[in-house]
Amino acid sequence: MNIEKTIQNHISAALKAEFDVEENNISLQPTRKDFEGSYTFVVFPYIKALRKSPVELGNAIGNYLVAHSGVVSGFNVVQGFLNLSIADAAWIDLFAGIFKDKNFGQLPDKQEVVMVEYSSPNTNKPLHLGHLRNNFLGFSVAQILAANGYKVIKTNLVNDRGIHICKSMLAYQKFGNGETPESAGLKGDHLVGKYYVEFDKHYKAEVKALEATGLSEEDAKKQAPLLIEAQEMLLKWENNDAETVALWKKMNEWVFAGFGQTYQKMGVSFDKMYRESETYLLGKKFVEEGLQSGVFFQKEDNSVWIDLTDEGLDQKLVLRKDGTSVYITQDIGTAELKYNDFKMSKSVYVVGNEQDYHFEVLFKIIKKLGRPYSEGNYHLSYGMVDLPSGKMKSREGTVVDADDLMQEMTDTARERTMELGKTEGFTETEANELYDTLAMGALKYFLLKVDPKKRMLFNPEESIDFQGHTGPFIQYTHARICSILRKAHEQGIIGKTTDYPILQESERDVIYLLSQYPQVLADAGKEFSPALISFYVYDLAKAYNRFYNEVNIFNEPDKNAQQFRVAFSGLVGETINKAMALLGIKVPSRM
RNA sequence: GGUUCCGUAGCUCAGUUGGAUAGAGCAACAGAUUUCUAAUCUGUGGGUCACAGGUUCGAAUCCUGUCGGGAUCACCA
């Protein structure tokens, strides 16, 4: 039985019976802690039309609910707020209903395919902190949508071509001396990243030298020999030059091997990988067709553009004058390919908010081209991750490397666990698994608890915190519950949901939270917001911990109460497990 | 400069369509363990919700303006 629905229906009925008012959209809110009651109905909106005082109206509805609803046991009216107390029997009934429902937390099948594209790395440098937010978000959103009843396809569009790759390749060619990941003792992505930095160093030196000869900064940047070489290399690549392609393939393989390891540690996965090198030609084809049909136009230098001034935007380049494709060219091609593969009705792009403009343009172009996937495109635009020292800049070396960070977190988890002396009874493998679980739990929770749309600050000291509003706090609560269930099992206590005499305040709070789970899940799916789940599961863990401190299970003389509390703890543990899984976070049974 | 997002406690963040005395965590201070895991729990202090107007029974929330910050406006991806 859903208490909320029951009350809403009876308020509607009360308004109809007592005042002849049709109102089917009744909104309830949880009662503030300082007042008695569980649910509150605000009567203000109705007093004017009914010409009643708030107290009169509140009393009338309150009395009606006590008499008819079967769940409201009492009420009080403060100003315009009708606070309703719920009978224990109704809470227990609610709990029993959830306990029985094996599919609790899985919403009905929507018969709809949704694609979530995330990660989308460049193959010229290793992943960093910003990518962590992206990957955790993307994976979590995919889990949340699946729990909402969608068929979800996770994809990763790898930007494996373009001028940036050529920069790494060129620098490797010039300064690499045949180095390999094995010979350098580096992960492949880190090795390639090293040469990207190398390129930038030499390029800057060239620019400086040119400026010294009297060139303007702008001209110097365009005329630096290294950049020109890189541009030539891109042209050669697009013309399938054998040597260039061979080098490109070799370096890409290094990077993919490195990324694979990182993804595994992050605990993310994909159903399908797309490579920009496989989609840009299709994009070019659409540009040509669009040029014929007049969606695009060509300038004198042969570059191709779209005019979006009628939409309040600018003109945007879609093909360079040398015929090579740009970022958006391949995105047009990729969109087509993805749709052909999966015929999805919604497509979510998890990409940073610095690309808001890019996606606005992309979606408009798709519409102008009249593609069948013109609708349902959504840019999940998340804010940057800042450091206390300011913005991360890969070229200036102020990035936090993803691999390093995850390793540090694991080290910290190990230290912390040992300090607390909690490793007893663990094999070495189990212990290492635990450190990993805790480390990733802390990191993921830290990055996911903030509203995705907002930029956030990454404070290294706070992120490794294991107390308070953190992943490990929730994991700890789960481990505690498992401990109780183990003991109950040993003592042969079976959970049940009937014959429970009097509920504690903290038990009511927990049951209320449990009942909210489907709604929170639906909201999180609608908003694409793992943060909603994060806050929910934290609240649940906190409420359970309060119960844990106030109430004892195994010393409880009343066997009915004991059995109820075992069932109760089990359900909280399961719900924590489910909610954390939506965030991509594992929960240990001991810690 | 145009567009756009943001400004809530010392710090990091919540605050669902406008609802009561604006909430958590961290940090500070004071407590709780003969009993199921103290990575826990309880309590105290801490606020001009950037500022000024407006809308109304009622505004952190909606509207206008001002100030401050970010992103973007590339033949980079």
Query: pLDDT tens digits, chain A, 591 residues: what are they?
Result: 589 999 999 999 999 998 888 888 888 998 988 888 999 999 988 887 788 888 899 999 999 999 999 999 999 998 889 999 999 999 999 999 999 998 999 999 999 999 999 999 999 989 999 999 999 999 999 999 999 999 999 999 999 988 899 999 999 999 999 999 999 999 999 999 999 989 989 998 998 898 888 888 778 888 899 999 999 999 999 889 999 999 999 999 999 999 999 999 999 999 999 999 999 899 999 999 999 998 999 998 999 999 888 877 888 999 998 888 888 999 999 999 999 999 999 999 999 999 998 999 999 999 999 999 998 999 999 998 988 776 655 555 568 899 999 999 999 999 999 989 888 889 999 999 999 999 999 999 999 999 999 989 898 777 788 999 999 999 999 999 999 999 999 999 999 888 776 788 899 999 999 999 999 999 999 999 999 999 999 999 999 999 999 999 998 888 889 999 999 999 999 999 999 999 999 999 999
Domain A402-582 sits in CATH at 1.10.730.10
Tell me the three state secondary structure of residue A386. Answer: strand
What's the CA gap between A334 and A352, in Å, rounded?
18
Tell me the three state secondary structure of residue A37. Answer: coil
What's the CA gap between A158 and A196, in Å, rounded?
17
What's the CA gap between A575 and A522, in Å, rounded?
15
- Is nucleic acid strand B under 7 Å from A357's C-beta? yes
The predicted structure's pLDDT at residue A362? 93
The Å distance, CA of A201 to C1' of B31, is 59
The predicted structure's pLDDT at residue A499? 74
Q: What stretch(es) of chain A map to CATH 1.10.730.10?
A: 402-582
pLDDT tens string A429-441: 999 999 999 999 9
CATH superfamily name and code, A3-86: Arginyl tRNA synthetase N-terminal domain (3.30.1360.70)
Tell me the three state secondary structure of residue A126. Answer: coil
pTM equals 0.95
Residues 386-415 of A with CB under 7 A from strand B: 391, 413
- Is nucleic acid strand B under 7 Å from A110's C-beta? no
What's the CA gap between A202 and A174, in Å, rounded?
11
- Is nucleic acid strand B under 7 Å from A445's C-beta? no
User: Helices (DSSP H) in A122-241: which residue ranges?
Assistant: 129-147, 163-175, 181-184, 188-212, 217-223, 225-238
The predicted structure's pLDDT at residue A111? 93
Pairing type for strands A272-275 and A72-78 reads unpaired
Smallest CA–C1' separation from A467: which nucleotide?
A: B39
Smallest CA–C1' separation from A315: which nucleotide?
A: B73
Contact A443, A409 (CB under 8 A): yes
The Å distance, CA of A268 to C1' of B17, is 35
The predicted structure's pLDDT at residue A397? 57
- Is nucleic acid strand B under 7 Å from A284's C-beta? no
Smallest CA–C1' separation from A519: which nucleotide?
A: B16
The interface predicted TM-score (ipTM) is 0.95
Q: What stretch(es) of chain A map to CATH 3.30.1360.70?
A: 3-86
Look up residue A156 and give its amino acid: N
